[in-house]
C-alpha cells in the first residue's frame, strides 16, 4: 500500500493536487495522509513567550487547522468513494519542509503530491516558494501539480537526463509504476552539446535501459539546445502528460525555475512534475 502525503492549505490549488492524486492512483490501494501545517503569524518572540499569548495563538490556529482538515476529508469522501483508499489527517504546528522530513525519517510516507501556486504571483518564478523548498529538500519523490491542470491519465512521460547519475532502483520505481500501470511511454531525453557520451555516461545509459526494460520507452537525442528549450520543443511535438526528472547536482534543476532565459524561450510548467531525489537517506 502506497503512503502518499497530500499537503493542503485549504486552497483551490491544493484541492486540485488532491484530486489529481486520487485519480492517478484510483486503481491502487493507498493510504492518503492529509497534512496541514501552521505557524504563528505573530513574529514578536517576546510576546509569544507569555504563556497566555502562546496558548491563545496556537489553540486558535490548531482549531482552524483541524476544522479545515475535517472539511477536506468530508469533501473527499463525498466526491471519491473509493474502497481502495484510506485516509488519515495530520494537523501540525511546524514548517512544511520540516514536517515532511520528520514523516520521511519516521518511515511514514513514500511520496508527496502537492500544488504549485506561489503566493507572490511573480511570473518569473514558475513554482511557489513552498513547492521549491519541498522539491529541493524532500528525500522522497514529489509530484507538483500545476493549478490549472485537469487530470489526464499519463500517456507520454518526458524524462530529461544527462546520463551522469549512477541509477538505482529507488530512482525509477515510482516512475515505472506510474508508466506501467497507465500504459504510458517513457521518453528519455538527452541534450547533446556536440560531444560524444563518455564511457561513464554510456555505462549509466545502459544501466538505465536495464531498469526500464519492462516499460514502453524511446530514447531521444537533441542537439544545440539547452535543456529547457529541449523540453519545450518536445512538448510541442508530443502531448506530454507528466514531466519527470532526478534532482542531482550535475543537472540544471535549480536554474530551471529562476533563470531569466526561461522566460525568453517560453518554458512553462503546464503538466505535473515528478521530482525524484538523487539521495533518499
pLDDT digits (tens, 9 = 90+) for 124-139: 344 566 777 788 788 9
**pLDDT over 90 at 28, yes or no:** yes
pLDDT digits (tens, 9 = 90+) for 163-213: 988 988 888 999 999 999 999 999 999 988 778 899 999 999 999 999 999
Q: What percent of the chain has a predicted confidence (pLDDT) above 70?
A: 81
Query: How many Cβ atoms are within 10 Å of 256's Cβ, its own excluded?
Result: 21
Helix (H, G, I), strand (E, B) or coil at 2: strand
Report the predicted TM-score, pTM, of the whole model to 2 decimal places. Answer: 0.87
What are the DSSP calls for 3-64, one per residue? Answer: EEEEE--SSHHHHHHHHHHHHHTTTS-EEEEEEEEE--S---HHHHTSHHHHHHHHHHHHHH
Which pLDDT band, with edges at 50, 70 and 90, does 122 fall under? very low
Mean pLDDT of the chain: 84
Distance of CA 233 to the CA centre of its chain: 22
Region of 89 (left: φ > 0; alpha: ψ -120 to 50; beta: rest) is beta
Which pLDDT band, with edges at 50, 70 and 90, does 233 fall under? confident
pLDDT digits (tens, 9 = 90+) for 6-26: 999 999 999 999 999 999 999
Amino acid at each position: 500500500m502506497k503512503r502518499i502525503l497530500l499537503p493542503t492549505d485549504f486552497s483551490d490549488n491544493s484541492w486540485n493536487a488532491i484530486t489529481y492524486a486520487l485519480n492517478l492512483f484510483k486503481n491502487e490501494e493507498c493510504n492518503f495522509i492529509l497534512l496541514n501545517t501552521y505557524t504563528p503569524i505573530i513574529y514578536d518572540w517576546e510576546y509569544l513567550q507569555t504563556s497566555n499569548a502562546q496558548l491563545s495563538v496556537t489553540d486558535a490556529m490548531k482549531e482552524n487547522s483541524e476544522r479545515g482538515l475535517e472539511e477536506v476529508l468530508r469533501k473527499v469522501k463525498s466526491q471519491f468513494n473509493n474502497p481502495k483508499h484510506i485516509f488519515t489527517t495530520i494537523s501540525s504546528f511546524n514548517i512544511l519542509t520540516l514536517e515532511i522530513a520528520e514523516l520521511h525519517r519516521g518511515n511514514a510516507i513514500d511520496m508527496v503530491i502537492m500544488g504549485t501556486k506561489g503566493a507572490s504571483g511573480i511570473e518569473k518564478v514558475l513554482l511557489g516558494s513552498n513547492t521549491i523548498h519541498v522539491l529541493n529538500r524532500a528525500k522522497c519523490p514529489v509530484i507538483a501539480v500545476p493549478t490549472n491542470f485537469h487530470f489526464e491519465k499519463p500517456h507520454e512521460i518526458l524524462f530529461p537526463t544527462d546520463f551522469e547519475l549512477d541509477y538505482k532502483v529507488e530512482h525509477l520505481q515510482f516512475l515505472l509504476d506510474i508508466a506501467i500501470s497507465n500504459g504510458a511511454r517513457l521518453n528519455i531525453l538527452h541534450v547533446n552539446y556536440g560531444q560524444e557520451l563518455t564511457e561513464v555516461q554510456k555505462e549509466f545509459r545502459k544501466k538505465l535501459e536495464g531498469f526500464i526494460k519492462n516499460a514502453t520507452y524511446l530514447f531521444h537525442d537533441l542537439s544545440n539546445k539547452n535543456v529547457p528549450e529541449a523540453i519545450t520543443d518536445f512538448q510541442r511535438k508530443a502531448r506530454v502528460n507528466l514531466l519527470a526528472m532526478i534532482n542531482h547536482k550535475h543537472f540544471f534543476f535549480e536554474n530551471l525555475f529562476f533563470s531569466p532565459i526561461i522566460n525568453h524561450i517560453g518554458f512553462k510548467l503546464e503538466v505535473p512534475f515528478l521530482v525524484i531525489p538523487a539521495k533518499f537517506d
